[in-house]
Amino acid sequence: MPHNLFSLIQLQFLNQSDRILLSVPGGRSLTGSELDAETACMAAVLIDAGVEPGDRVSAQVEKGWMNVLLYLAVLRIGGVYLPLNSAYTESEVEYFLTDAEPRVHVCPQVRREHAESLVQSANEQLKVMTLDGDLGFLRDVFDDFKLSGRAVEEVVSREAADLASIIYTSGTTGKPKGAMISHGNLIANAEMLTEAWAYSKADTLLHALPLFHVHGLFVGLNLALVNGGPIILLPKFDPTLVLEVMPDTTVMMGVPTYYTRLLSDDRFNRVTSSQMRLYISGSAPLLVETSDSFFERTGHRILERYGMTETGMSCSNPLVGERRAGSVGPHLPGVSVRVMGDDGYSVAGGEIGSLEVKGPHVFSGYWKLPEKTASEFKGEWFITGDLAILSEDGYISIVGRDKDLIISGGLNIYPKEIEDVLNDQPDVLESAVVGVSHPDFGEGIVAILVGKKALDMVVLEAACREKLAGFKVPRRWLQHDALPRNTMGKVQKNLLRDNYKDSFTAK
Ligand code: MLC
Ligand code: AMP
């Protein structure tokens, strides 16, 4: 059996050569044979740029069909795909390009100069290409290659353990870590989800998620591609566009914010959702209230699942059987889960403990960080950092986090990253960043600061914007004389969260 994920996807392209498998409303539609041929052409572009098996190719690009071709071509030639959130600032990107040392970085024209400046200082082998603009314009090279019939048809053979992707996730301490994800991990996860959700080529996926995180890339895109089901690829989550294409689709995946936004739109009703087979939610907790309102409005019970970058998907509510609101369901086929107490033993049903997972979908470690990797595994068990309860009948509920993490609109934000920027500002003595309930994003960010004098929050906000992606910038700013600390000297964030719990919800 071939271990390159692309080989499985290519089987579908070849078996359904005349069927449109990827379409962008108002843009291009590609059949199976076009996807195969154009991926081969993109593969030639990358090989021409010097990419060899095992080399990283990073991409901070706009979502679209070119982005899909780029991802598939990297897999095809045995490269390692490194997607970057389009909101990351230059200083955030600088870290990734220095740490991962990609051979090729694809970015927007406006970021080109900055990326090229890193060739001297950080990564001598880096070649920068853009999807828009002129110089080194990947699209132009691609079009030239297509016209002249240049393509690399070969699919590079890979072992299951060979890397397919590196995705950076931040952490409670230090810098972001690159999670190393193999072809075997991705294939195992796609197979589990196919079985659990009965996904098939009869499904059409409504794809509104970004392609730079696990949810949109490995859950959404991979699952549809491996099964040969058509994908309607939207540039982003826009309720008008989503409602327009919904009647032509059967499965939608989203973060809870997508579902609350749909519910607040009067155009969304039983008619728009009548063709739908399955709505799936994940990346952040889905409120019981949202699940119930959705059921009342559409007759569909959203299927909630749970996962993370390091593991892909681990748990899912069942397709057939009880989809329990407030729970992420039992473990997926082939996955083992356990809930551990502080004493190192698994806790009895109903008690809160630390969730650990094991299986063929679990990543192999953090890029260049063997010690960090070792500290997050107990043998083959990966410590997720989530707090959970396992019910007598095998359903997992995520009830909290053992990590200082905010999840806003499905995006993970580590307070430490923001606190580091704030603590570096001249008038700031110390800071604490917390997440509190937000009606749209689930959690919103509040910054509490202690200053040498009265602080100018506009200046602090600007400092954050310069260094951090917009979604990480706090939306409420407060100055305190001191931060509340316990006897160990640790900041009592629970008190701050409680004090400011109504920051975004107060009427
Ligand atoms: C954008 N903004 C956000 C935000 N997204 N603020 C907080 N949280 C977010 N998630 C801010 C921007 O900085 C900007 O503010 C303003 O909102 C408008 O930006 P936008 O891009 O136009 O926003 P919008 O299109 O409304 O995006 C919101 C969203 C999007 C919820 C649709 O964030 C989204 O698609 N989220 C999904 C993320 C995802 O794929 N998560 C999966 C991770 S994988 P300003 O002030 O800067 O201009 C994972 C594992 C698993 O977790 O289990 O799946
Ligand atoms: P990421 O690091 O971006 O992959 O995010 C993974 C984290 O998202 C997990 O560790 C959980 O904290 C959270 N998460 C994902 N799915 C769910 C869910 N259905 N319910 C609650 N939290 C979730």
Domain ranges of the chain: 5-197, 237-401, 405-499
Look at ligand 2, atom 21, and give the residue with the nearest C-alpha.
285
Alpha helix stretches (DSSP H) within 180-265: 183-197, 214, 222-227, 239-245, 256-263
Sheet arrangement for strand 442-451 = 428-438, 442-451, 476-479
Give me the pLDDT at residue 238, please: 98
Query: Which ligand 1 atom minimizes the distance to the CA of 208?
Result: 35
C-alpha 98/C-alpha 253 separation (Å) is: 33
pLDDT at 409 over 70: yes
Strands 396-401 and 381-390: antiparallel
The CA-atom distances, in angstroms, between 439 and each of 88, 318, 501, 505 are 24, 28, 12, 6
Q: Is 214's C-beta closer than 6 angstroms to any atom of ligand 2? A: yes
pLDDT band at 117 (very low <50, low <70, confident <90, very high): confident
- Closest by Cα among 251, 260, 208, 247 to 227: 251
C-alpha 276/C-alpha 299 separation (Å) is: 11
**Mean pLDDT of the region 336-343:** 95
Whole-number Å distance, alpha carbon 424 to ligand 2 midpoint, is 29
CA angle 264/270/276 to nearest 5° reads 100
Q: Is 401's C-beta closer than 6 angstroms to any atom of ligand 2? A: yes
Ligand found nearest the CA of 316: 2
Report residue 488 as tokens: 């160990």
Whole-number Å distance, alpha carbon 260 to ligand 2 midpoint, is 18
pLDDT at 132 over 80: no
**Mean pLDDT of the region 489-494:** 92
Backbone angles phi, psi at 303, to 5 degrees: -95, 115
Whole-number Å distance, alpha carbon 167 to ligand 1 midpoint, is 17
pLDDT in tens, 348-398: 778 999 999 999 999 999 999 999 999 999 999 999 999 999 999 999 999
Query: Which ligand 1 atom minimizes the distance to the CA of 445?
Result: 7
Give me the pLDDT at residue 135, please: 60
* Residue pair 480/455 in contact by the 8 Å Cβ criterion: no
What is the chain's length?
Answer: 507
Ligand found nearest the CA of 309: 2
DSSP tag of 328: -
C-alpha 116/C-alpha 125 separation (Å) is: 11
pLDDT band at 175 (very low <50, low <70, confident <90, very high): confident
**Mean pLDDT of the region 455-464:** 97
Candidates 311, 382, 384, 411: which one to mutate for ligand 1, based on the most atoms within 8 Å of Cβ? 411
Whole-number Å distance, alpha carbon 15 to ligand 1 midpoint, is 36
Q: Is 220's C-beta closer than 6 angstroms to any atom of ligand 2? A: no
- Closest by Cα among 306, 283, 294, 309 to 388: 306
- Closest by Cα among 251, 147, 148 to 201: 251
- Closest by Cα among 151, 165, 162, 159 to 71: 165
C-alpha 141/C-alpha 73 separation (Å) is: 14
CA angle 296/302/305 to nearest 5° reads 155
Maximum Cα interatomic distance, the chain, rounded to a whole number of Å: 71
Query: Which ligand 2 atom minimizes the distance to the CA of 308?
Result: 4
Mean model confidence pLDDT for the chain: 95
C-alpha 38/C-alpha 29 separation (Å) is: 12
Q: Which residues of 198-208 are buried (b: 16+ CB within 10 A; e: fewer)?
A: ebeeebbbbbb
* Residue pair 58/103 in contact by the 8 Å Cβ criterion: no
**Mean pLDDT of the region 236-248:** 97
Give me the pLDDT at residue 97, please: 93
Candidates 85, 281, 386, 401: which one to mutate for ligand 2, based on the most atoms within 8 Å of Cβ? 386
Report residue 75 as tokens: 């897999």
Q: Is 307's C-beta closer than 6 angstroms to any atom of ligand 1? A: yes
Whole-number Å distance, alpha carbon 20 to ligand 2 midpoint, is 33
Whole-number Å distance, alpha carbon 347 to ligand 2 midpoint, is 21
Whole-number Å distance, alpha carbon 260 to ligand 1 midpoint, is 14
Look at ligand 1, atom 10, and give the residue with the nearest C-alpha.
409
Q: Is 164's C-beta closer than 6 angstroms to any atom of ligand 2? A: no
CATH number for 237-401 (one of 3.40.50.12780, 3.40.640.10, 3.40.50.1820, 3.20.20.190): it is 3.40.50.12780
Query: Which ligand 1 atom minimizes the distance to the CA of 412?
Result: 52
C-alpha 416/C-alpha 294 separation (Å) is: 35
Ligand found nearest the CA of 170: 2
What is the residue type of 322?
E
Q: Is 216's C-beta closer than 6 angstroms to any atom of ligand 1? A: yes
The three state secondary structure string of 390-417 is ECCCCCEEEEEECCCCEEECCEEECHHH
> Percent helix, strand, coil in the chain (nearest 5)?
35, 25, 40
Name beta bridge partners: 450: 430
pLDDT in tens, 431-459: 999 999 999 999 999 999 999 999 999 99
Ligand found nearest the CA of 210: 1
Neighbouring C-beta atoms of residue 478, cutoff 10 Å? 16
Whole-number Å distance, alpha carbon 306 to ligand 2 midpoint, is 6
pLDDT at 326 over 90: yes
Whole-number Å distance, alpha carbon 144 to ligand 1 midpoint, is 35
**Who's near 420: CB < 8 A, 6+ residues apart?**
none
Q: Which helix (H) or strand (E) holds 72?
A: helix 65-76
Report the share of the chain in percent with pLDDT over 70: 98
Whole-number Å distance, alpha carbon 405 to ligand 2 midpoint, is 10
Ligand found nearest the CA of 212: 1
pLDDT at 174 over 70: no
C-alpha 68/C-alpha 63 separation (Å) is: 8
| CATH tag, 5-197 | 3.40.50.12780
Look at ligand 1, atom 43, and give the residue with the nearest C-alpha.
213
**Mean pLDDT of the region 284-291:** 96
Q: Please state which architecture CATH assigns to domain 405-499.
A: 2-Layer Sandwich (3.30)
> Terminus-to-terminus CA distance in the chain, angstroms?
59
Give me the pLDDT at residue 507, please: 67
Q: Is 411's C-beta closer than 6 angstroms to any atom of ligand 1? A: yes
Report residue 142 as tokens: 């691609």
User: Are both 237-401 and 405-499 of the same fold?
Assistant: no
Give me the pLDDT at residue 133, please: 64
C-alpha 447/C-alpha 190 separation (Å) is: 39
pLDDT band at 401 (very low <50, low <70, confident <90, very high): confident
Give burial (CB, 10 Å; 0-12/13-18/19+) of 409: buried
Q: Is 306's C-beta closer than 6 angstroms to any atom of ligand 2? A: yes
The CA-atom distances, in angstroms, between 158 and each of 69, 99, 100, 134, 282 are 19, 24, 20, 34, 30
- Closest by Cα among 43, 60, 169 to 115: 60
Whole-number Å distance, alpha carbon 307 to ligand 2 midpoint, is 6
Name beta bridge partners: 396: 329, 390
Radius of gyration, CA atoms only, the chain:
23
- Closest by Cα among 199, 229, 233 to 217: 233
